[in-house]
Amino acid sequence: MQTKNRRNLIINTTQMVVWVGVFLVPAIVTGTMTGSLEQAVKVFTTGAMLLLPAFVLYSLNYYLLVPRLLHGGRAKWFYIINGGIIVGWMLWDFFGKHPQEFPKEVVEQFGERTLWAMYVGSILLRVFVQCMLVLLAAGLRGVMRSNDAMIQAQEERRKSAEAELTWLKHQLNPHFLFNTLNNISSLTQIDPDKAQESIGQLSDLLRYALYDSEADRVFLSAEMEFMSNYVDLMALRCNELTTVTKDFQVPQEHVEVAPLLFISLVENAFKHGVNARYPSFVNAEMSYADGVITFRCANSLFEKQGSDHIGSGIGLENMKRRLELLYPGKYAYEQKAENDTYTVEVKLQV
């Protein structure tokens, strides 16, 4: 709305300046060249009498007829009114003054037929100018209307994207809580003391996930701390056959990122990369350099059958959709499976 109002103010001000210039410039030039105020006033008066009908016609169309009739679904009346005005002025010019009223010496010098031709030509020229003024007013209003439609469409897309992001985030939080609470539940049966300690850690995670993550952007350092704690909690349910490593290189500068973007990758790694009966591993890394955040997660590959396979799931689909909405054209997502290892890497320009 502010952009639209600012643009309208600029256009209206520019129009006013142009019209004032059209009215005043001839008089100013005449006064400057002749040094006579009387001559300047005479030129201004004569010019104003000639230009005033054009100004009225343009203003009438720009401020009233075009927006109310042409763009208001009543185009027929727009053409009827403008046609009536132009034809009316043409008839007034034609019958209001004709060559017989010109000085006799002028008629004798040019001839009556030539004067008639010149007079009709001048009337047609004024009609052409009047039509051009109507087209100019309609064209300018059309451009403004098109720009308004484009701004409205952009605003609607922005609101739609914001609504979708909110929906995705609300989907993510319950998914995250469900997995974490399952981990704590499993731990209570193995090590109650460790479970109690982990509940305090979970409290910090919940505070971040439920409150801090409501912001559009969070500090990368806070996101890294959250991810590091989350990896620790996920590792609690693993036995001695699983090796879990992490490397979160906290940047010195204050870098901001959308919250909870990469949590699904860690969930996916523990879900598909850990097997209680075989040696397995999970390795999560995050760093920042030269305006690019890099998150990399590697895990042992125990591929499941059916639709529940590594690289799929609601959480990962939500993450990809959020990346597309929040960082269009500014991210790279790569995943590969080789040598019994699954690796996924996301690079994000911020």
Alpha helices in the chain (DSSP H): 2-34, 37-60, 75-96, 104-110, 112-190, 192-210, 220-235, 263-273, 314-326
Mean pLDDT for 151-169 is 66
CB 90 within 8 A of CB 123: yes
> What pLDDT is recorded for position 299?
94
**What was the pLDDT predicted at 256?**
93
How far is residue 201's CA from residue 181's CA, in Å, rounded to a whole number? Answer: 12
Residue with the bigger pLDDT between 49 and 100: it is 49
Lowest mean pLDDT among 166-175, 234-243, 263-272, 296-305: 166-175
Which of the pair, 23 or 282, is modelled with greater confidence? 282
The mean per-residue pLDDT over the stretch 89-93 comes to 77
**Arithmetic mean of pLDDT over the chain:** 81
141 versus 155: which is more confidently predicted?
141
Q: Is the pLDDT of residue 340 over 70?
A: yes
Tell me the C-alpha distance between 113 and 110, whole Å: 8
The model's pLDDT over 107-120, given as tens digits with 9 standing for 90+, comes to 667 776 777 777 77
Q: What is the pTM of this model?
A: 0.53
Worst-scoring range by mean pLDDT, 77-86, 90-99, 245-254, 286-295? Answer: 90-99
**Higher-scoring residue by pLDDT: 246, 317:** 246
Q: Sign of torsion, CA 104 109 115 118?
A: negative
If phi over 0 gives left and psi between -120 and 50 gives alpha, with beta otherwise, what is residue 246?
Answer: beta
Residue 64 has pLDDT above 80, yes or no: yes
Q: pLDDT band for position 168 (50/70/90)? A: low
Residue 348 phi/psi, 5-degree rounding, is -135, 120
Confidence of residue 246 (pLDDT cuts 50, 70, 90): very high
The token duo for 252 is 């010195």
Mean pLDDT lowest for which of 161-165, 231-235, 257-261, 304-308? 304-308
Residue 213 has pLDDT above 80, yes or no: no
